[in-house]
Amino acid sequence: METFVDLKDKIESKQAKIGVIGLGYVGLPLLMEFVEEGFTCIGFDIDENKVTLLKEKKSYIKHLSQKRIEGIVESGKFDATTDFSRISQVDCIIVAVPTPLDKHQQPDLSYIIDTSEVISKYLKQGQMVVLESSTWPGTTEEVMKPILEKSGLKYGKDFYLAFSPEREDPNNPTYTTKTIPKVVGSNDSYTLECATALYDKVIVQTVPVSSSQAAEATKLLENIFRSVNIALVNEMKMILDKMGIDVWEVIEAATTKPFGYMPFYPGPGLGGHCIPIDPFYLTWKAREYDIPTRFIELAGEINTSMPYWVVYKIMEALNEKGKSLNGAKILILGAAYKKDVDDMRESPTLKLIEILQSKGGHVDYNDPYFPKMPLVRKYQYDMESVELTPENLKKYDAVLISTAHSCYDYDHIVTHAQLVIDTRNATKKVEEGREKIVKA
């Protein structure tokens, strides 16, 4: 009890030192909020390049400005390191590491497990650990807790453990890390109070729930809701396409209803770090309870099939021009998973390249945020971004809009391209050359 009170007092007085493990799209923005609120923070990452860039006051995430990075470094309250022994120097440890799927679409908790093993080596009495990585209900209690207790310390007595799902939406102009309410859950009431106090210092609203399992399930529900509704409009798109009806016009019209409806939009597939992955975490866990997840799995099937449907539309459009996909030159616009971000995690563009190449297509890409295609876990393409000159655009048999970056001049693109396959309704305002545009 005394340790808990000491930690909570430290948090309330901003004397608590904060450690964030994982300096990516989730961890770094959160750490910056703590520093800007006056907390002393240490950022941990296994990537030496990230640590070096931060020490040089350089941003490696587009929507985190250089000025903000310079501010936290010059504050004297921030340090970045690959030395995980320094975990013993902090009071609160926030874990924001990846939770991908393996090649069999099963949850891959290796990052959480490895991080927990490292923490257990340096865990000291009175520290609090908060997991933020999206995962199945029970991970915090069933996976992290036993590993952390290898330290010889006991949960709820010697150290504290909570779950608070991240809700990052990179480059969202309306909502930031600070202004998105934060759910917090723990199976220990003292820890819940302490974790709530921690996030209250940097987040506009903290929403405590009764357990870490409830907090973990909250994150999954949020993303399954989106996955299912995106699958619905993707299926509607395929149906209405056969009927000769523009799904984008239908969505826009339906959006005028002031109740009982909210718009979701189709695309070439799901991307990002949550929606393509999180639903499968729940379906995997549900098998333990003999509960089928037909609805969730059907949505996943529809969404993962979309790149194949887009390729079918490309083949159909080329055929009408007397061309074959085999040997055709295809230029894909956008490698990021959504517009105006430098984030390629689970981008449908990666799958589109794979399918098009497997069918004999010669594929290039353009993305202003990725001059060179980076290596990712599943794909390793040796490609560089092609400049969108009139000459370059003309030489491709088809230009595929996969990500609708705001910086693209769609009038210019349509004017000089032979054929445009638009998966994002990006060309809706283009007037000249509409006969070249195929919605997909």
> Which residues are known to be catalytic?
274
Could you tell me the two tokens for 14?
């901003």
The answer to whether 95 and 22 are in contact (CB under 8 A) is: yes
Could you tell me the two tokens for 298?
């059907």
Strand order from edge to edge, sheet including 398-401: 362-366, 329-333, 398-401, 420-422, 437-439
Residue 3: name the closest of 130, 157, 148, 153 by CA: 157
Question: Which 3-state string (H, E, C) describes 350-375?
Answer: HHHHHHHHHCCCEEEEECCCCCECCC
Phi, psi of 194 (to 5 degrees): -70, -45
The answer to whether 88 and 267 are in contact (CB under 8 A) is: no
The secondary structure element, H or E, covering residue 402 is none
d(CA 325, CA 360): 7
The answer to whether 27 and 21 are in contact (CB under 8 A) is: yes
Q: Which amino acid is at 93?
A: I
